[in-house]
Amino acid sequence: MIQIDFSKLNPLEKEIHKNLSDSVKHHPSITIGKAAEICGCSMSKISKFVKKLGFRSYKQYMQFLYEKDISASRTSTELERLHRFIEDFDPAIVKTFTDEIENHPKILFFGHGPSYLTAEYFEYKLRLSTGKYVNALSEELMAENLLDSNTLLVILTTTGAFRSFSDLYQSAKDQGAKVLILSEEYNKSLLDSCDQLIWLSKHPQPKELKPHEKSRTVFYIFIEEVVAYLRHEQKPLLPIR
């Protein structure tokens, strides 16, 4: 992605661009030293000018002036990871998730930290897509007070390593609720804290990131697919009478 903004340039920098734009018409190649000579300034000034204009390097700027294909920079590891996730996406997990929603009149989303913020987004989207009771929570005691046999408790977690969900799971079992964990990364220990585990991605985020530092983009992609399924593949889900 490149954003070229001539409005950021001062009169001298605009003159540099004009001089170099004219010079490429008569020279098959122009080194940064030659560019500095043409413009009567330092190479450092040329380098700062092209970056201020929006280019990654002098070489990329020259490719632009010579109307050549601009070399692509290396894709970020996060974009690569998300690309692989989308390529591997299994629509069957969307159907599995919506089936569980359909079977329960009350849906509680639970998460800690950034996962709770994601849970709030789930709540918002599903309230628009269903006629069910939907709530997002971050406090275990509050969740425990709302659990009953009509409840599907959906726990969102990226790694499952921040805090144990075993106490909350036991409370849910005592009240007859079902617990489904949506986890981005596989964590075998989560199997002891739920009735059903949906593991969203086999492409983990960098290990050096702490749980709260990891992105929640995979969850947002998943919920948008769920909402699209509810919107296009079947009628809005109504409360069970």
Residue 238 has pLDDT above 80, yes or no: no
Query: Above 80 in pLDDT, residue 74?
Result: no
**Shared domain check, 221 and 117:** yes
pLDDT at residue 135, as a whole number: 95
> Which three-class secondary structure state does DSSP give residue 40?
coil
Task: Give the domain range for residue 56.
Answer: 6-65
Which range in 49-63, 68-82, 201-215 is most confidently predicted, on average pLDDT? Answer: 49-63
Q: Which long-range contacts (CB under 8 A, 24 or more apart) does 22-30 make?
A: 24/62, 24/65, 24/66, 29/62, 30/62
Q: Are residues 42 and 101 in the same domain?
A: no
Q: Is residue 71 part of a domain?
A: no
Question: Both 15 and 133 in a single domain?
Answer: no
Domain check: are 103 and 220 in the same one? yes
Q: Are residues 124 and 192 in the same domain?
A: yes
Average pLDDT over residues 12-20: 94
Give CA–CA dist 135/234, Å, rounded. Answer: 23
The domain spanning residue 119 has which CATH number?
Answer: 3.40.50.10490
Number of DSSP helices (H) and strands (E) in the chain, helices first: 10, 5
Q: What is the CATH number of the domain that holds 27?
A: 1.10.10
**218: nearest Cα among 74, 83, 77:** 83
pLDDT over 70 at 235, yes or no: no
pLDDT, tens digit (0-9, with 9 covering 90-100), for 147-193: 999 999 999 999 888 888 999 999 999 999 999 999 988 777 888 88
One domain, residues 145 and 198: yes
pLDDT in tens, 97-137: 999 999 999 999 999 999 999 999 999 999 888 888 999 99
- In this prediction, residue 35 carries a pLDDT of 95
The secondary structure of 215-238 as a DSSP string is --HHHHHHHHHHHHHHHHTSPPBP
- pLDDT above 50 (res 240): no
pLDDT of residue 69: 67
Q: What pLDDT is stored for residue 207 in this prediction?
A: 82
- Which pLDDT value is given to residue 206? 85
pLDDT tens sequence across 19-68: 999 999 999 999 999 999 999 999 999 999 999 988 888 998 998 898 88
Q: How far apart are CA 186 and CA 175, in angstroms?
A: 27
DSSP 183-221: ESS--GGGGGG-SEEEE--SSPPPTTS-GGGS--HHHHH
Residue 51, domain member (yes or no)? yes
* Together in a domain, 97 and 60: no
Which has more pLDDT, 3 or 94? 94
Same domain, 146 and 223: yes
Q: Residue 43: what residue type?
A: M
Report yes or no on 239 lying in a domain.
no
Question: Which position has the higher pLDDT, 166 or 237?
Answer: 166
